[in-house]
Structure 1
Amino acid sequence: MSENHHTAPGPDADGPDTSVPGADLDAVGRPLTVGDALTLPVLAAGQPQVVTGTARLDRPVRWVHITELTDPASFLKGGELVLTTGMPLPESPAGVRRYVDELADVGAAALVIELVRRYHRPPEALVHACQARGLPLVTLAKDVNFLEVTQVVHALILGNQAEVMRRTQRVHEAFSALTLRGAGPQDVVRAAAEMSGHTVVLENLVHQALICEPSGDTVGAALTDWEQRSRATRPVHHTSVSGPEGWLVAPVEYQGERWGRVAMLPASPGPAAPSPFGPFGRFGPFGSEDVTVLERTAMALTIARLTHPTPWERAAHRGVLRDLVEQRHGSPADADARVAALGLPTQDSRFVAVLVDVPHEDETAKAEELLSEELRKKGTQALLGLLGPPRLGILLSLRPDQPWRPVVEDLSRTALDLVPGTTVSAGSEATDLTGVARSFRDATRVAEATEPGRPLPTGRSYHERSDIGLRRLLFALREDTRIQDYAERRLGRLADHDARHGTDLLTTLRHYLDAAGNKTVAARSGGLSRETVYQRLRTIERILDCDLESGEQRTELHVALTALDVLRVR
């Protein structure tokens, strides 16, 4: 024989009592397999040996069938563990082949033959026929009570079926609770991954992965080359296994309109082996509970789409952008795979973060919708999403030879046309996704340093880091109490004097400092005589206890005066 005999493990001396059949198995909730059955004490007592089909012992056992007929297949439906003493086996090799072919064709799980009465070793013809059809052949060296085997195995099968029903009920209850509390798509997909222990992905009609909840695998492993792999997985009309990787997929639709599909990935990615179990293996590595989970997931996603106003794509863009900003991705590979799965080019690309601040919070959602549609029409490669009212975040993907400023300028003018009064701030260029968080931080600093109504730079409709001077830096830091304290310590006494006496010494100081210490220019700016300016400057020196001829002290006062100006901005 070309295949070595395999002895099934026998019962432990301290193992469970046979009155509790299968108590040593961890198979509750999953189908009982041929390998599981052979470890049961009632069968292990017969010293089973696996002659053929060692690699197929994971076949599920649906039932046990005792037969002494020459044509037992006519009484089978598939998935049976067939027990025989060998008495009915045909004499001729051709008859044996026909006997085995009929068992294999109907989908029998395995053939168990007792080597006690007719045979003391398995016939060569039987071994060769089982090898040819991939049917597990198991021999028993000792007498076994087949009726007891039937009782024990059937009790286990029925017990498992009852457990499956209980688990299915829990799945239905869990998804009903999600629906009743108005759970969004992200919550639904996360629950599916947790309940099944599989990675679950929601995609739209153009094969963009909108939500990925990994289980065991990383996001990078789950979503790498997603579109290509997804397109190789044919569409289905109902929950079923599809594609070269053996995904369990279900359509998400409503009243005949399909919106996308949800996919459950096998635990170990790779080509799916064809199932040898006939109709009982149509879901491959997935159990009936997994099928129930995915079907309820599709249903809950349909309800979530009907009850939640935010489209899936927009919610997906928001989620990815926020994760990039807050650096919540597990690894650079995860970030790359997730962004690419949404259709944004990441290979040989550069990135620029842009922030769009609309003038009124209640205009943010409308601006997001309009700008997203406009970018799509122009073919701009970008992710756009709400970071928090009234701010939109945009991640631009650029070719290596593509200058970023013209792209940002076009984007900015589009935003201003759609929502007048919008402020656009650009971050620094990033060579890969790991630098995107820094680009968003730079754009945020630009936005924070931009006062309301700030004039646009010459020749540009957006602001960037190079625009931040002293005034804009102090404006960005205006809530820092150290800035407030500095301005008050340097100029508070002068401001108090003006308030008490109705004078305007701060304005005179401003003209003097703006004129870089030139008293004549300061007098002309304030419409005052030189003598009046001299007198006022002496008063300022006395009140502030300073020397206005000192360049250092003039600089300190200029910074304090600029800080005071930005602190008064409303």
Structure 2
Amino acid sequence: MSDGGTVTVAEVLALPVLAHGLPKILAGHDRLDRRVRWVHITEWEHPASALRGGELVLTTGVGFPTRLDEWAAELADIGAAAVVLELGRCYHEAPYELVAACRTRGMPLIVLRRGIKFVDVTQEVHAMILTGQVRTLRAAQRVHDTFTALSLRGAGADEVVRAAAAMTGSAVVLENLAHQALICAPGEGTVEDALNRWEERSRATPSPTGRTEVCGQEGWLVTAVEFRGQRWGRLAMLPGSTADQQFLVDHVMVLERAAIALTLARLTHDTRWEEQAQRDALLDVLEQRHLSWRDTRTKIAALGVSTHGRRLAVVLVRTAERDVVLDKLRARFEGGALVGDLGERGIGVLLTFREPGGWHPLAAEIAELAGTPVYVGAEVGDLTEVPRSAAEAEQVADAVPPEGRPAVRTLADIGLPELFYSLRDDPRVQAYAERQLAALLAHDQQHGTDLLTTLRHYLAAAGNKSIAARRSHLSRQALYQRLHIVEDILGADLESGDRRAQLHVAIAALDAQRIRKRS
């Protein structure tokens, strides 16, 4: 992890003031990424006593001791970044003993084959370091201001995670202790790149022993997210596709500030992140709020719900006890289905199952848990077809009245009464029923009769008067008399099949409207 207030040995060697000295690397070729904290000029026999580690040591060799291996060992032990030896004043070439000792210790050794002013080196390098430190301070202030503003306006967890990704260009993922990826901001990559095989990769990435560390073989930058003093989950920043990418101090600041903002968001918002994540994923599918189905599949799998090779069906539950039912369904279908509050549409459950028809026992169990009938859409074989299943479930829910049985209702349960129940608010249907039955309804109201019921039994018996009389608990003669009165009031021939069909439709529409009024 690089420090924004320092520069590397390689960056120092690229400066014109050092390039003018014709530098040549004799040892530590693979250590040029070491951080240079400061520049120190020395001709002492034992320079380590004046060092703290991270220094670029400039020398002409005038004060070299007899044992150059010990001199190099002192600098290596104190953690000096590199040694730069200017040739010409004391040595015409680097002493073999010094070169060997630096190679053994992994200490970068650079010789300058042309003389330069060391003071120019210190001036330029220190200016670079100070500039980097100022930049780090400014970046820290920017990070602080950004996340403070998000917290003050009550931003949700998704906004916080997106802000962290936007500020770094890296993918940032919020996961819980069950290694479910609840929120993913892919940065400059894709959701699939970030979340593919998430649980497997996350479990292979240990948590940091300290506050924030680079962890695991993939090199994730990880920090803990706490809630009420307990570790709740982790916030992970994923490296880019470039193999040599390093996380900077800026990345650590962003991730840690984001974790604090998430804790504050959890304290100020009622909705639990797991619930919000499932609801968002469900809406992504039903409303196709995504860039690609591939990303959506990956996102759902990262929540612990696999759709690969499975059959799918949407179940809707409409109940006044929404919060209670939601808790029951989430507890029952943890990892096996997506459960979310869909607002006016009801509670949505995306079931996954292996065998055709596998939704039957699951839907029956949902109905038992909810204590109310449930509405099931078509069984489909791919995530792209789920919106059709949801639309069908909603059609059933709108068409079938909530009372009665069966407990699990599908499109097959929609007959003529259910069709008119779904169309009960259509003014054209209301007007049709009124035109057909207004005179009969008015007569019943004025005279205290119930001829509408007599007509309903007659039509339900398909014009069979014997059956209609038995269902009406009337004698055949009484039924005939009532039917003649109905014909006179409506001006209709009840022996006509077409006329009976028209009246049957009108009564079905009227009954649907009356069910609506009772509910």
TM class by shorter-chain length? 0.7 to 0.9
2:508 corresponds to 1:562: yes
Identity of aligned residues (%): 47
Who is 1:410 aligned against? Answer: 365
Kindly provide the CA deviation profile for residues 133-163 of structure 1, in whole angstroms up to 9, marking residues without a partner as x.
5544444443322111111221221122122
Kindly provide the CA deviation profile for residues 298-338 of structure 1, in whole angstroms up to 9, marking residues without a partner as x.
22223333333333322322222222222234433322332
Who is 2:298 aligned against? Answer: 337
Q: CA deviation at 1:556?
A: 5.6
Who is 2:336 aligned against? Answer: 381
Supply the distance in 1 between the matched residues of 2:51 and 2:357 (Cα, whole angstroms): 68
2:232 corresponds to 1:251: no
1:56–1:473: structure 2 CA closer, same or farther, 3 Å change rule? farther
Who is 2:233 aligned against? Answer: 260
Supply the distance in 2 between the matched residues of 1:240 and 1:289 (Cα, whole angstroms): 13
Secondary structure of residue in 2 paired with 1:428: coil
Supply the distance in 2 between the matched residues of 1:325 and 1:180 (Cα, whole angstroms): 33
Secondary structure of residue in 2 paired with 1:340: helix
Q: CA deviation at 1:247?
A: 1.9
Who is 1:371 aligned against? Answer: 329
Supply the distance in 1 between the matched residues of 2:30 and 2:285 (Cα, whole angstroms): 45
1:306–1:547: structure 2 CA closer, same or farther, 3 Å change rule? same
One-letter code of the match for 1:406? P
1:312–1:507: structure 2 CA closer, same or farther, 3 Å change rule? same
Query: Which of 57, 75, 78 is the equivalent residue of 1:82?
Result: 57
Secondary structure of residue in 1 paired with 2:84: strand
1:478–1:532: structure 2 CA closer, same or farther, 3 Å change rule? closer
What are the ranges of 5 or more consecutive residues in structure 1 without an aligned counterpart? 1-26, 274-283, 417-421
Supply the distance in 2 between the matched residues of 1:131 and 1:332 (Cα, whole angstroms): 54
Who is 1:184 aligned against? Answer: 156
Supply the distance in 2 between the matched residues of 1:30 and 1:398 (Cα, whole angstroms): 55
Q: Would the aligned equivalents of 2:439 and 2:489 in 1 still touch at CA under 8 Å?
A: no
Who is 1:35 aligned against? Answer: 10
Who is 1:549 aligned against? Answer: 496
Q: CA deviation at 1:56?
A: 4.9
Who is 1:467 aligned against? Answer: 413
2:320 corresponds to 1:350: no
Supply the distance in 2 between the matched residues of 1:333 and 1:251 (Cα, whole angstroms): 29
Q: Would the aligned equivalents of 2:42 and 2:59 in 1 still touch at CA under 8 Å?
A: yes
Who is 1:322 aligned against? Answer: 283
Range with bigger deviation, 318-327 or 68-77: 68-77
Range with bigger deviation, 530-539 or 203-212: 530-539
Query: Which of 372, 377, 380 is the equivalent residue of 1:427?
Result: 377
One-letter code of the match for 2:170? H
Secondary structure of residue in 2 paired with 1:328: coil
Q: CA deviation at 1:202?
A: 2.0
Who is 2:390 aligned against? Answer: 440
What are the ranges of 5 or more consecutive residues in structure 2 without an aligned counterpart? none
One-letter code of the match for 2:289? R
Supply the distance in 1 between the matched residues of 2:210 and 2:344 (Cα, whole angstroms): 40
Who is 2:196 aligned against? Answer: 224
Supply the distance in 1 between the matched residues of 2:483 and 2:118 (Cα, whole angstroms): 117
Q: CA deviation at 1:456?
A: 1.4
Secondary structure of residue in 1 paired with 2:115: coil
One-letter code of the match for 2:214? V
2:275 corresponds to 1:311: no
Supply the distance in 1 between the matched residues of 2:94 and 2:502 (Cα, whole angstroms): 102
Q: CA deviation at 1:259?
A: 1.9
Q: CA deviation at 1:486?
A: 5.2
Q: CA deviation at 1:104?
A: 4.3
One-letter code of the match for 2:250? E
Supply the distance in 2 between the matched residues of 1:396 and 1:350 (Cα, whole angstroms): 8
Q: CA deviation at 1:413?
A: 1.0
1:252–1:555: structure 2 CA closer, same or farther, 3 Å change rule? same
1:532–1:464: structure 2 CA closer, same or farther, 3 Å change rule? closer
Q: CA deviation at 1:189?
A: 2.3
Kindly provide the CA deviation profile for residues 38-67 of structure 1, in whole angstroms up to 9, marking residues without a partner as x.
343333333445566566544432212223
Secondary structure of residue in 2 paired with 1:429: coil
Q: CA deviation at 1:255?
A: 6.3
- Could you tell me the TM-score, scaled by structure 2's length? 0.83
Q: CA deviation at 1:204?
A: 2.0
Range with bigger deviation, 243-252 or 385-394: 385-394
One-letter code of the match for 2:283? R
Supply the distance in 2 between the matched residues of 1:104 and 1:346 (Cα, whole angstroms): 56
Supply the distance in 2 between the matched residues of 1:557 and 1:126 (Cα, whole angstroms): 109
Who is 1:18 aligned against? Answer: none
1:111–1:161: structure 2 CA closer, same or farther, 3 Å change rule? same
Kindly provide the CA deviation profile for residues 360-386 of structure 1, in whole angstroms up to 9, marking residues without a partner as x.
2xx32232223333555xxx8233232
Who is 1:15 aligned against? Answer: none
Supply the distance in 1 between the matched residues of 2:101 and 2:485 (Cα, whole angstroms): 118
One-letter code of the match for 1:267? G
1:177–1:57: structure 2 CA closer, same or farther, 3 Å change rule? same
Range with bigger deviation, 28-37 or 431-440: 28-37
Query: Which of 434, 458, 462 is the equivalent residue of 1:516?
Result: 462
Supply the distance in 2 between the matched residues of 1:505 and 1:285 (Cα, whole angstroms): 85
Q: Would the aligned equivalents of 2:487 and 2:494 in 1 still touch at CA under 8 Å?
A: no
One-letter code of the match for 1:494? Q
Who is 1:149 aligned against? Answer: 121
Kindly provide the CA deviation profile for residues 97-150 of structure 1, in whole angstroms up to 9, marking residues without a partner as x.
555554444443333333444556666666666556554444444332211111
Query: Which of 251, 273, 290 is the equivalent residue of 2:251?
Result: 290
One-letter code of the match for 1:470? L
Supply the distance in 2 between the matched residues of 1:145 and 1:401 (Cα, whole angstroms): 82
Who is 1:3 aligned against? Answer: none
Kindly provide the CA deviation profile for residues 186-217 of structure 1, in whole angstroms up to 9, marking residues without a partner as x.
33322222233322222222222222222122
Kindly provide the CA deviation profile for residues 65-117 of structure 1, in whole angstroms up to 9, marking residues without a partner as x.
223345544433333233333555678xxx55555554444443333333444
Matches within 5 A, 1:162-173: 162-173=134-145
What's the RMSD between the two structures over aligned residues?
3.7
Q: Would the aligned equivalents of 1:487 and 1:561 in 2 still touch at CA under 8 Å?
A: no
2:354 corresponds to 1:396: no
One-letter code of the match for 1:318? R
Supply the distance in 1 between the matched residues of 2:338 and 2:99 (Cα, whole angstroms): 62
1:500–1:412: structure 2 CA closer, same or farther, 3 Å change rule? closer
Supply the distance in 1 between the matched residues of 2:336 and 2:143 (Cα, whole angstroms): 40
Q: Would the aligned equivalents of 1:517 and 1:549 in 2 still touch at CA under 8 Å?
A: no
2:436 corresponds to 1:494: yes
Supply the distance in 1 between the matched residues of 2:377 and 2:69 (Cα, whole angstroms): 74
Q: Would the aligned equivalents of 2:423 and 2:429 in 1 still touch at CA under 8 Å?
A: no
